[in-house]
A = this chain, B = another copy of it.
Amino acid sequence: MSPSRTNGSTTDELVETIPEATVARLPVYLRGLVELADGGVATVSSVELADLAGVNAANVRKDLSYLHAHGTRGVGYEVDHLIGEISFVLGGGEPSPVVIVGIGNLGRALSRYDGFVAGGFPVAGLVDADPAVVGKRIGGRTVRPVEDLPAVVAESGCTVGIIATPASAAQDAADHLVAAGIPSILNFAPSVVQVPDQVDLRQVDLATELQILGYHQHRRVAGGASVRAVG
């Protein structure tokens, strides 16, 4: 599900490795834990955390064991400590500023999305290839030309790029981000883009998500009969 992975060199396995499926759940645990902490809760059991995250309790325990985040038998896990461990694993506590490429409807919405700032991903740059968009101000930031990407990255220290262009411009956007030295890219455009192995790329595809829902819905309504009628 994560399209490109860093290709493991021979010495790689010395670094403690966490399964991809576990990494994908850690942010969900973190959210639940922060809520608990805000509510003044000091310890949490794997069953409670599993409930909050919507997963199996054994799964939670195994996931946390990869972090070496030990709990206390008969008691549970210390909420604050867990928050620290997970935050550290997910980026070392440092905020990672992001630059958004493509300031259309979606790009504008993303640039104002509070969840990014709260999660430690402040929007630090906006760029677009369209001269009609360049120069506009969105939420206190000026849209700059995509050619300025290296400068924007240098000034703001962005380490994450978000592609919010139409599909036809996505590969171009990715090329620009890679050329500017961005190591992590989140692609919202509905298109497969190619990046070098050392760049980490994730895809968020809204239409695809709806189509997956469509499959289940079709199955439920149509059942087996009409499916067979086609083959």
Q: Which residues of A contact B (CB under 8 A)?
A: 1-3, 6, 14-16, 18, 23-24, 26-28, 30-32, 52-54, 68, 85, 88-92, 96, 98, 105-106, 108-110, 112-113, 115-116, 118-121, 159-160, 183-186, 190-192, 194, 200, 202, 204-224, 226-228, 230-231
**SS class, residues of chain A in contact with chain B:** helix
Across the interface, which residues of B come within 8 angstroms of A184, CB to CB? 213-214, 216-217
Across the interface, which residues of B come within 8 angstroms of A3, CB to CB? 54
Across the interface, which residues of B come within 8 angstroms of A212, CB to CB? 2, 23-24, 27, 90, 202
Q: Are B15 and A217 in contact (CB under 8 A)?
A: no
10 A-B residue pairs with Cβ-Cβ distance under 8 Å, sorted by A, are A15-B224, A24-B212, A27-B211, A52-B192, A68-B231, A88-B230, A91-B214, A121-B210, A184-B217, A186-B213
Q: Are B106 and A159 in contact (CB under 8 A)?
A: no
